[in-house]
Amino acid sequence: MHVADTAAVAWWVWPIALFVVTFLLGVVAVVAGIGGGVLFVPIVAGFFPFHLDFVRGAGLLLALSGTLAAGPVLLRSGMANLRLVMPFALSGSIASLAGAMVGLSAPANLVQTALGIVVIAVALLIWRVRPGRNTGIEESDPLGAVLRLVGKFDDPASGGRVDWRTNHTRTGLLVFAVIGFLGGVFGLGAGFANVPALNLLMGAPLKVAVGSSGLIISIVNSSAAWVYLNSGAVLPVIVVPSILGIMMGSRIGAGLLRTVSAETVRRLIIVIMLLAGTRALLRGLEIWN
Amino acid sequence: MELKPDEAQDQRVQDAYARWLDGIAKAGFAATLAALLAYLSGALPPFVVLADLPALWRLPVAQYLAVTGSPTGWAWLRLLDKGDYLSLLAVASFATASLLCCLRILPVLLSHRDRTYALIAAAQATVLLLAASGILNRYL
């Protein structure tokens, strides 16, 4: 359907369609181990009639609200570590603020084209990069030592206590600033990038990286979300069904974790992202509106 | 698991953050659901008529605001008797959670004499307050 024709469709069709799509995104995102926030913007911007400004505002709030529910459990269990979260969330949220302002100031076609390129790059990143389980850092770098980026948690899977520490703190701060900026510009949740940064670059154990990444998203996206809220770029009729859909889908997805092949779903997500990224690219270049 | 003094202090900070995050998230989700029902059922009339939305939500935000006369910044707080803006308030509570949690752990960090992280928490709260204030939106 051409976008111009969508105004003829009854208004209530779209919130219901959003709920269904975000429910499915919630299911596959959990099974594949990535946040739903990175899927929402390219898919909804590509295949729904909403302007990209409103989709990005919704994407930021969707990603952050999804992490709020899990945050307390992750903090209490030690899977999310506040010492690890806070310096990188600060770096990311300052950059995210700048990204949101750039994103709202730039022409929509330019943002849409860049979104297409970023989403295709993210799909390739998910395809190529596989986080490691055991990192075994034995010595912190000087800044990591000052920030005391060390911790421990009880791992039921290994049946023991895992002591960990990180390094490459300065590079990590820079990487999180870049991730935050992109998140602000495009309204993306950045679990796809946070986890490899914490795990592969800095050496945090995978479980701590996943848990801490969620909390980082909740802080980083908050600063950009306020820029969109204050600009009037958040429409409840788009945001609320999406939040409810992805939350319910995530619950179902968590239940399916043991029965569905994560690798199959991961491949499916890569294909979806390549399609959505190509669609955003073509729409931005005004080849396929 | 027995904790060293530093670890016990870290755990207290994590617990304080987790408690507030939990409370705000639960209240936010309940409020969002209630506000959505009031909005979509018509119990609270919307500021922008629902049937008009398909012609409006494909416009860039500046054009949408001009056509609908919708407010920016915090001016929407005067419209909480409208279903769409009551829903916006509920959704905005999610964006407030991190700010409140950072403010909550600040005195705990100071009581532990953890000046580095108290500074980081204060800086984070300042960034979030700056974002929420809408001051930066004047430069858009």
Whether residue B90 is contained in a domain is answered as: yes
User: Which residues on A lie below 8 Å from B5 (Cβ)?
Assistant: none
d(CA A188, CA A192): 10
Residue ranges covered by each domain of chain A? 3-284
Banded pLDDT at B5 (limits 50, 70, 90): low
CA–CA distances in Å: residue A248 to residues A188, A225, A243, A245, A282:
20, 22, 9, 5, 32
If one counts the domains in chain B, the total is 1
Whether residue B140 is contained in a domain is answered as: no
CB contact under 8 A, A94 and B127: yes
pLDDT at B2: 54
Tokens (6 digits) for A44 = 């909804």
Question: A181 touching B, CB under 8 A?
Answer: no
Per-residue pLDDT tens digits for A157-208 = 677 788 889 999 999 999 999 999 999 999 988 877 888 899 989 999 888 8
The residue length of chain A stands at: 289
Banded pLDDT at A155 (limits 50, 70, 90): confident
Per-residue pLDDT tens digits for B30-39 = 999 999 999 9
d(CA B23, CA B16): 11
Is residue A122 within 8 Å of residue A192, measured between CB atoms?
Answer: yes
Higher pLDDT, B115 or A192: B115
CB proximity under 8 Å: A 4-23 to B:
6-12, 14-15
Whether residue B139 is contained in a domain is answered as: no
β-strands A150-155, A160-165 pairing: antiparallel
Domain range for B71: 7-134
Whether residue B22 is contained in a domain is answered as: yes
The distance between the two most distant Cα atoms of chain A, rounded to a whole number of Å, is 62
User: Among partner residues B58, B128, B132, which is closest to A49 by beta-carbon distance?
Assistant: B58
Per-residue pLDDT tens digits for B45-80 = 999 999 999 999 999 999 999 999 999 999 999 999
Higher pLDDT, A90 or A289: A90
d(CA B15, CA B101): 11
d(CA B57, CA A44): 13
The secondary structure of residue A198, as a DSSP letter, is I
Q: Provide mean pLDDT across the span A26-51.
A: 84
Per-residue pLDDT tens digits for A219-263 = 999 999 999 999 999 999 999 999 989 888 887 877 776 677 777
User: Among partner residues A69, A97, A235, which is closest to B136 by beta-carbon distance?
Assistant: A97
Looking at chain A, which runs of residues are DSSP E strands? 150-155, 160-165
Residue A156 has pLDDT above 80, yes or no: no
CB contact under 8 A, B95 and A226: yes
What is the overall mean pLDDT for chain A? 87
Question: A239 touching B, CB under 8 A?
Answer: yes
CB contact under 8 A, B140 and A105: yes
CA–CA distances in Å: residue B31 to residues A84, A130, A173, A236, A249:
31, 39, 35, 13, 20
CA closest to B65 among chain A residues? A232
User: Which residues on A lie below 8 Å from B73 (Cβ)?
Assistant: 230
Banded pLDDT at A1 (limits 50, 70, 90): very low
Residue A12 has pLDDT above 70, yes or no: yes
Is residue A187 within 8 Å of residue A41, measured between CB atoms?
Answer: yes
pLDDT at A3: 47
Is residue A50 within 8 Å of residue A44, measured between CB atoms?
Answer: yes
CA–CA distances in Å: residue B131 to residues A56, A219, A233, B127:
16, 12, 14, 6
Q: pLDDT exceeding 70 applies to what percent of chain A?
A: 93
**Structure ipTM:** 0.94
Q: 10 Å Cβ neighbour count for B111?
A: 12
